[in-house]
Amino acid sequence: MEMVDLAQQAARFLAQDDYEQAIALYEQCIESDPSVMFNYWMLGLTLLLDGREEEAQACWLSAIIAGNSAEMEAETMELIKVLETEGIERLERGKYEQAERIYLQIIEQVPDRAITYNNLGNAVLNQGKQEEAIAYYQQGLELQPNDAITYYHLGTAFHQLDRLEEAIACYQNSLAIEPNSAAVLNNLGNALQRQGKSAQAIAQYQQSLTLDPNDALTYNNLGSLFNAQGKLEEALACFQKGLYLEPNNVEAYSNLAAFYQEQRQYEKALQCCDRAIEIDPNYADSHWTRALILLRLGDYKRGFIEYEWRWKRKENPPRILPKPIWDGSNIAGKTILLQAEQGMGDMIQFIRYLPELLNLGCQVIFECHLPLVKLMKNIAGVKKVVAIDDTLPEFDVYIPLLSLPLVLGTTIETIPAKIPYLTLLESVKVKLETPVGNRLKVGLVWAGNPKHLDDRKRSSSLKYFMPILNIPNIAFYSLQKEPKSAEINELSPVNIVNLSSKIKDFADTATVINQLDLVITVDTAAAHLAGALGKPVWVLLCYNADWRWMTEREDSPWYPTMRLFRQNQQGDWQEVMARVREALQQLLKEKESQK
């Protein structure tokens, strides 16, 4: 076989990662004509990718040292060019580990090439190794301080780590060098949006579109921001433009589904999800949105199946433990760990499944957030309660808590809703003082966890509660925790007792709730706690409420003592509070008539 044919065949084997065959053929090429340097470079590359680094270096060195110093320098640069070409080719093909190996070898040969550090950073960044990428980008910038592309990539690495200030600084440095980069402007807009700087983010997106008016991604990002601001027409126009530019863009369909979901147009939202999944069956965000819609509509059979896609979303990586995940098989005589996930309200809501598990003959360990531990230790039948990040005791199988409805086949009709399923600790003593003459004792919560993605929609402000605080013969008690409990002082004087200093954890909160006639709260853990204790609770819901509250209905299949008050327009708490005031006055009349 001619040497050219041997080399071509070797290259084909190398492209297929068949290193053994490629090595044999490159060796034949060198034996056939030892003067062709390219075959040494490729043989060394193949050895390197096969994990034989020392042999690769020996191969290259054997070829380079054959000439004088000028020839050695020229041949070294020839090798570097070959390796750089091969590195770029692997980056483009998504073979990032191979690219990393190649660029590390280039640096060993020539440690002062800025572009190599940038490419090496790209290789490791695409493997999810952001810290390593940052170090390589910074080395590249030391060698070439005015490289706009490396600043852009460094900003991307910081962005992925949610180090937004550093990301923004890098994007701005990149733009100072090269102001007309639509991609950098788009990323800068994303970072500013994450910081809540909506006006600045919009300006960056719009400037990016001025430079590249055919970028569907930027239209999608701008549309998402408009949607979050309630600018519905602008949002819809952006999503539609993005789809016009890229008709098979799954992210655009996913964003449009989120838009329709927010407007409670659930059938249109499902159609968008289905279209995105048709294009890319593994697109997790569309499966996730589809799950939330199906659950809202009460289709628990399909909804909880789709709900498992939460583990495929980059925002929600699973915590894998070294034991099997329970799949519903026989666990009599075994110990199961209920793994904590999501918020404290979720822990309270789904621990209701404990009796069903105990009926299967197993023992249960419950992992939960630290403020819940004392209360949850009082649940009958639980073997042990541990806080998140504590050392776990021995167990046989585990399951993320919110996967129980799927495994146990929950439907609307079979939700375990026997209350109360939480009980008080006798050792916890928080006594309420009730002013003389009051007929009702009402607890209030107006804001939830500020870190929750939907906090802006779910939480209210104490000022919206003012219309009910002047109703006579009602004593109001704040169950609100810091920092939002400070609003009491801002509105002083006001008819509300601040209990924040007395409430240290959920065991304390439960003791207080047990002394109340009613809890009025936004969608937060206090709603679940009151419901689980079997106390009357009124929950104030945003326009497009969480899936567990379903749609339209005023009651909840999860909590028999709960009443739901929904916004009829986005952000309109005043109208909600007018209905609450009317209901409170009616309740007060009923209470007085029972005297």
Report the pLDDT value the prediction gives residue 168, as an integer from 0 to 100: 97
Domain spanning 3-207, CATH architecture: Alpha Horseshoe (1.25)
**Among 100-104, 148-152, 236-240, 350-354, where is mean pLDDT lowest?**
100-104
Q: Can you tell me the distance from the alpha carbon of 566 to that of 546, in angstroms, rounded to the nearest whole number?
A: 11
Mean pLDDT of 330-342: 97
pLDDT class for 329, splitting at 50, 70, 90? very high
Report the pLDDT value the prediction gives residue 232, as an integer from 0 to 100: 86
Higher pLDDT: 429 or 505? It is: 505
Q: Can you tell me the distance from the alpha carbon of 323 to that of 223, in angstroms, rounded to the nearest whole number?
A: 43
Report the pLDDT value the prediction gives residue 20, as an integer from 0 to 100: 80
Higher pLDDT: 408 or 503? It is: 408
Report the pLDDT value the prediction gives residue 4, as an integer from 0 to 100: 64
Mean pLDDT of 520-537: 97
Report the pLDDT value the prediction gives residue 528, as an integer from 0 to 100: 97
pLDDT for 469 beyond 80: yes
Q: Can you tell me the distance from the alpha carbon of 289 to that of 303, in angstroms, rounded to the nearest whole number?
A: 10
pLDDT in tens, 559-595: 999 999 999 998 899 999 999 999 999 999 888 777 6
Report the pLDDT value the prediction gives residue 2, as an integer from 0 to 100: 62
pLDDT class for 456, splitting at 50, 70, 90? confident
Task: Please say whether the dihedral angle defined by the alpha carbons of residues 558, 559, 560 and 562, taken in this order, is positive or negative.
Answer: negative
Report the pLDDT value the prediction gives residue 158, as an integer from 0 to 100: 96
pLDDT in tens, 120-177: 999 999 999 999 999 999 999 999 999 999 999 999 999 999 999 999 999 999 999 9
pLDDT in tens, 340-381: 999 999 999 999 999 999 999 999 999 999 999 999 999 999
Report the pLDDT value the prediction gives residue 137, as an integer from 0 to 100: 96
CB–CB of 500/443 below 8 Å? no
Write the CATH number of the domain with boundaries 440-593: 3.40.50.2000
Q: The pTM is what?
A: 0.79
pLDDT for 1 beyond 60: no
pLDDT for 39 beyond 60: yes
What DSSP assignment string belongs to 75-132?
HHHHHHHHHHHHHHHHHHTT-HHHHHHHHHHHHHH-TT-HHHHHHHHHHHHTTT-HHH
Higher pLDDT: 81 or 521? It is: 521
Report the pLDDT value the prediction gives residue 15, as an integer from 0 to 100: 79
pLDDT for 272 beyond 90: yes
Report the pLDDT value the prediction gives residue 457, as an integer from 0 to 100: 85
The residues, ordered by sequence, that sit 6+ positions from 364 with a Cβ below 8 Å of its Cβ are 335, 336, 338, 354, 357, 358, 381, 382, 383
Tracing tokens 């969480």 back to the chain, one arrives at: 546
The residues, ordered by sequence, that sit 6+ positions from 11 with a Cβ below 8 Å of its Cβ are 22, 42
Higher pLDDT: 50 or 265? It is: 265
Mean pLDDT of 332-340: 97
Q: Which two tokens stand for residue 250?
A: 């799954």
Mean pLDDT, all residues of the chain? 90
Report the pLDDT value the prediction gives residue 244, as an integer from 0 to 100: 93
pLDDT for 466 beyond 90: yes
Higher pLDDT: 97 or 451? It is: 97
Name the percent of the chain lying above pLDDT 90: 65
